Amino acid sequence: MTWMVTGGAGYIGAHVARALLDSGMKTVVVDDLSSGFAGFVPDGAVFVQADIRDKNALIEAMLTHGVTGVIHVAGFKYAGVSVQRPLHTYTQNVTGTVILLEAMHEAKVDQIVFSSSAAVFGTPDVDLVTEDTAKDPLSPYGESKLIGEWLLRDQAVASGLRHTSLRYFNVVGSGDPDVYDTSPHNLFPLVFEALVAGKTPRINGTDYPTPDGTNVRDYVHVADIAAAHVAAARRLEAKEAIESAYNLGSGNGLSVAEIMTAIASVTGIDFIPDAAPRRPGDPPRIVANGDLAARDLDWKMRHTAEEMVQSAWDARLRAEKTGAAQGSAE
């Protein structure tokens, strides 16, 4: 088995590539390094620097390395920014997925695990989101991920493509000290960068209809997310029954304020966050039921909140110590 990971030089994709290699599966990473880093690509993986909109490069990589399946992680992932850059978001996430599927069809690669998102649900009117909860994305990013799921569904009807979509919730932590979240928009790196610079972190929105006024999210460890991708790939390879989509959530929500408290405890830096306005496209609460993924993909929460913070902080400190700290481009 040889699996291609698009976006495999990014934070999540690099963890997926490592998990594949650790499970004994040959791995090909495709990334244009627009927001990923060559240093994140694990030893043992074949690295192809290419844009996923370059169909010929994708076909060549698939045929040259005998790719049997694709884990599609590449894309523009910033929900808030997508409100200001909708065309860019659709070009990266929708056009890119169309071209990838065309390349797969021409190279006769017929199985794919798609990196979807909790953003497809928008602001759900239920306490616990299931796979069947109504889809009502609030941002071009969320819309692009829902369209991606539709593209897989329709291509499956047309060509027999075997597929599943994994809907991430808030991915945090580090499963490898050499890989950490470099996003300029995600909570953990925003807080860490502020602390490293001696500044006070801020909370975007303190007037949400939640118990403490801050967003409630379903925080999941990136290593657990990566393990679910491997399980999905193996299930596809074995031609076992698989759902079209799985929620990768814990079933428990933590508020941003609660995360701030955990970060202060882990880092030993006492701070009171500054209050800032809400970010466009951010729903007040989104927490998911992960029972289907637990049934089929050995999904489980293997890390506590403190362990998630600790692993992320340790990786960030290591990057600072080694001079590898870097911001992510958009």
- Provide the 10 A C-beta neighbour count for residue 326: 11
Hey, what are 318's tokens?
A: 């290591």
> Is 141 a known active-site residue?
yes
Write down the catalytic residue from 11, 78, 90, 141.
141
Which of 37, 33, 30 minimizes the C-alpha distance to 54? 30
Rounded Cα distance between 105 and 67, Å, is 12
Q: Are 289 and 128 in contact (CB under 8 A)?
A: yes
DSSP states of 220-231 as a string? EEHHHHHHHHHH
Hey, what are 293's tokens?
A: 């993924």
Hey, what are 204's tokens?
A: 């975007």
Rounded Cα distance between 8 and 73, Å, is 7
Q: Give pairs for 153-156: CB < 8 Å, separation 24+.
A: 153/244, 155/101, 155/105
What burial class does residue 91 get, using C-beta atoms within 10 Å of its C-beta: 0-12 exposed, 13-18 middle, 19+ buried? middle
Rounded Cα distance between 27 and 12, Å, is 15
Tell me phi and psi for residue 179, to 5 degrees: -130, 130
Rounded Cα distance between 257 and 273, Å, is 8
Rounded Cα distance between 325 and 93, Å, is 27
Residues forming the active site: 141
